[in-house]
Amino acid sequence: MASIRGSSSVSTDRDSLEIDRRAASWCSRAFFAACPVYPILDAGVFGDRDPGPAIRALGTLGIRVVQLRGKGLPGGAFSSWVSAAMRGASGGGVRVVVNDRADIALLARADGVHLGQEDLSVRTARRLLGRGAVIGLSTHTREELRLARNERADYLAVGPVFETSTKADSAPVVSLSGVREARRLHDGPLVAIGGIRRGRIGPVLAAGADAAAVISAVAGVSPGEIAEKARALLAEVRLRPQDGSKASSTTSH
């Protein structure tokens, strides 16, 4: 597994602290196509509970990557929560990406980090985590998306696609036309986010996203509840007509 997790050596030089010099080859459009539901587990919903069992339950459904988010949580508490998750999820085959905090991803030996526009740059996070880590980058406007294409992130996120109450400082919705435009501008892995729930995942993928990142649509108090919600989303994806129009749908609604 090309990951900073399980690395055997840490080398330092003037420019970089590289944990694993192999490229993070797992993050591709094909990776997301195999399972286009990307759950984000929020520490605020979990409270004291360990997310490890939920990650494992998601893995049994075929979920391949989850993100851990700790908005508003002090760094120490978020770091402990992520480390517990990594221990609990170990061996389950699900990649773990940490929201915002490259330092915590490094400490916990996670598979990568998802950066917002106000976080460390992709370049700096790469220096910290090494080439083996996956780095995702959020974009909310056409301009951010244009600039992000030069950032060498492994995947780009676009959103909010729909209204959401999950993100306090949420940017204006980009709607499905924003996803279509993002697909036109970016030919790498593209993750849509924001207000995606049952009934919406098909249109988001048809607009050109490779995956849908979801928070409230999978939020629950137990691994069983979280898995049940993810299962419902996955059922919708699997029922989706495979008509090949996914990436080529460029007409406006």
Chain residues binding ligand TZP by CB under 6 A are 138, 159-160, 164, 166-167, 170, 193-196, 214-217
CB of 198 to ligand TZP, least distance (A): 12
- d(CA 130, CA 133) in angstroms, rounded, equals 6
44 binds Mg ion (CB under 5 A): no
Is 19 or 205 the residue whose CB approaches ligand TZP more closely? 205
216 binds, among Mg ion, ligand TZP, none (CB under 5 to 8 A by kind): ligand TZP
Instruction: Name the binder of 100 from ligand TZP, Mg ion, none, CB < 5-8 A by kind.
Output: Mg ion
CB of 26 to ligand TZP, least distance (A): 22
What residues contact residue 131 under an 8 Å CB cut-off, 6+ apart?
A: 18, 20, 21, 22, 23, 24
Which range in 29-37, 110-118, 162-170, 226-234 contacts Mg ion by CB under 5 A?
A: 110-118
Residue placing its CB nearer to ligand TZP in the complex, 130 or 160: 160
Q: Pick the closer one to Mg ion by CB: 37 or 97.
A: 97
Do the Cβ atoms of 22 and 6 come closer than 8 Å?
A: no
Q: Are 81 and 73 in contact (CB under 8 A)?
A: yes
**Residues 115 and 125: beta-carbon distance below 8 Å:** yes
Rounded to whole angstroms, the Cα distance separating 4 from 237 reads 31
Q: Which is nearer to ligand TZP, 52 or 195 (CB)?
A: 195
DSSP 201-226: HHHHHHTT-SEEEESGGG--SSHHHH
Position among 100, 111, 210, 236 found at the interface with Mg ion (CB under 5 A): 100
Q: How far is the CB of 47 from Mg ion (least distance, A)?
A: 21
Distance CA(8)–CA(30), nearest Å, equals 28
Tell me the chain's radius of gyration from C-alpha atoms: 17
CB of 174 to ligand TZP, least distance (A): 9
d(CA 227, CA 63): 10
Binding site for Mg ion (CB under 5 A): 100, 116
